[in-house]
């Protein structure tokens, strides 16, 4: 009887730092769930060695990479081909290596949309959405949100010109979606509560709140922070104090990984049980 195991395709998450990444746990669960034969690891690259490490990984037989900070712009530049959403985002978080070269995609926005709609049960269609921030995280989610045809999308940023630039960049897509797209500084926030508010700023990393009038939050508002942690973020606590429902970005992490898995394998895993397992892990860590 042969004890030789079937060959397994190699994947990894590349970043600096990267040891904290939960991607190996997530993709191991996806592989178990789908029966796909793959191994997944962490790959630490020096800040000036991203391309060399990617090339070495390909030479080793690697099939694909997830890309985390600070290499998403370099991944975008390295790709031979880009998905429309990666081209719109100007950044790549998923690389696939095949006979046609290096394919770059950005699954962050799809992950956000799927978490909001499938896991949290809030439809973006015909909704009023407020997006806080105009950096890379915000740019990566605008097109996937527009694809869901919200009634209105307002982009607000501390530097108004950056929000206005995004409005200009996505004006055509908004028109095709039938969405009223506006943006600017804090003054651009409307006087009535929004259906969904997405915090795409890095404020929660240093416990600071984005500039946003309290009137934007209401009892029917989903306030979504792309950041996550063992405890609710300062943005989530602020939103809850104003009567809104709050959620963190852990589900986005899982769902963007599920989309990456689909880009690589052509199979879309179920994110819900993996998200539940991660929640349990975070809860256990708090209790220790």
Whether residue 238 sits in one domain with residue 134: yes
User: What is the rounded distance in angstroms from the CA atom of residue 187 to the CA atom of residue 195?
Assistant: 18
Range of the domain at 17: 9-106+252-287
Residue 2 inside a domain? The answer is no
Whether residue 267 sits in one domain with residue 225: no
| Averaged pLDDT for residues 193-208 | 92
Q: How many helices (H) and strands (E) does the chain have?
A: 11, 12
| Averaged pLDDT for residues 117-135 | 97
Task: Count up the domains in the chain and report the number.
Answer: 2
Whether residue 102 sits in one domain with residue 113: no
Residue 1 inside a domain? The answer is no
CATH of the domain at 102: 3.40.50.10860
User: What is the rounded distance in angstroms from the CA atom of residue 34 to the CA atom of residue 243?
Assistant: 40
Residue 3 inside a domain? The answer is no
User: What is the rounded distance in angstroms from the CA atom of residue 15 to the CA atom of residue 222?
Assistant: 31
> Residues 174, 180: contact at Cβ < 8 Å?
yes
Question: How does pLDDT run across 244-287, given as a tens digit for each residue?
Answer: 999 999 999 999 999 999 999 999 999 999 999 999 988 887 66
Whether residue 208 sits in one domain with residue 118: yes
Give residue 7's pLDDT. Answer: 83
Whether residue 266 sits in one domain with residue 222: no
Q: Is 22 annotated as a binding residue?
A: yes
Question: How does pLDDT run across 79-88, given as a tens digit for each residue?
Answer: 999 999 999 9
Q: Name the pTM for this structure.
A: 0.94
Query: How many CB atoms sit inside 10 A of residue 126's CB?
Result: 13
Q: Is 169 annotated as a binding residue?
A: no
Whether residue 194 sits in one domain with residue 76: no
Distances (CA, A) of 103 to 55, 78, 95, 177, 227: 14, 9, 6, 27, 27
CATH of the domain at 126: 3.40.50.720
- Whether the pLDDT of residue 3 is over 50: the answer is no
> Residues 92, 74: contact at Cβ < 8 Å?
no
- Whether the pLDDT of residue 4 is over 60: the answer is no
Residues assigned a catalytic role: 72
Whether residue 156 sits in one domain with residue 169: yes
Give residue 287's pLDDT. Answer: 67
Whether residue 279 sits in one domain with residue 154: no
Whether residue 113 sits in one domain with residue 102: no
> Residues 235, 211: contact at Cβ < 8 Å?
no
Question: How does pLDDT run across 139-161, given as a tens digit for each residue?
Answer: 999 999 999 999 999 999 999 99
Give residue 183's pLDDT. Answer: 97
Q: Is 188 annotated as a binding residue?
A: no
User: Can you state the angle between helices 160-169 and 136-146, rounded to 10 degrees?
Assistant: 40
To which residue do tokens 């800040």 refer? 47
């Amino acid at each position: 009887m042969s004890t030789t195991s079937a060959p397994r395709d190699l994947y990894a998450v590349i970043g600096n730092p990267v040891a904290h990444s939960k991607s190996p746990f997530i993709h191991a669960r996806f592989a178990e769930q789908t029966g796909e034969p793959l191994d997944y690891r962490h790959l630490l690259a020096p800040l000036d060695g991203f391309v060399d490490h990617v090339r070495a990984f390909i030479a080793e037989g690697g099939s694909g990479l997830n890309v985390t900070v600070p290499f998403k712009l370099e991944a975008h530049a390295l790709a031979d081909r880009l998905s429309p959403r990666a081209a719109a985002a100007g950044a790549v978080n998923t690389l696939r290596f095949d006979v046609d070269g290096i394919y770059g995609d950005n699954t962050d926005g799809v992950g956000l949309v799927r978490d909001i709609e499938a896991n949290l049960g809030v439809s973006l269609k015909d909704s009023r959405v407020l997006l806080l921030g105009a950096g890379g995280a915000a740019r990566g989610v605008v097109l996937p949100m527009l694809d869901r045809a919200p009634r209105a999308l307002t982009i607000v940023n501390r530097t108004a010109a950056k929000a206005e630039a995004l409005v200009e960049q996505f004006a055509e897509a908004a028109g095709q979606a039938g969405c009223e797209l506006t943006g600017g500084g804090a003054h651009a926030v409307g006087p009535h509560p929004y259906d969904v508010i997405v915090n795409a700023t890095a404020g929660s990393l240093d416990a600071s709140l984005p500039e946003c009038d309290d009137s934007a939050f209401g009892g029917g508002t989903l306030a979504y922070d792309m950041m996550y942690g063992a405890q609710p973020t300062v943005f989530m606590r602020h939103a809850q104090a104003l009567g809104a429902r709050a959620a963190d970005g852990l589900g986005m992490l899982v769902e963007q990984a599920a989309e990456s898995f689909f880009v690589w394998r052509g199979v879309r895993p179920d994110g819900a049980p993996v998200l539940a397992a991660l929640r349990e892990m975070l809860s256990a860590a708090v209790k220790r």
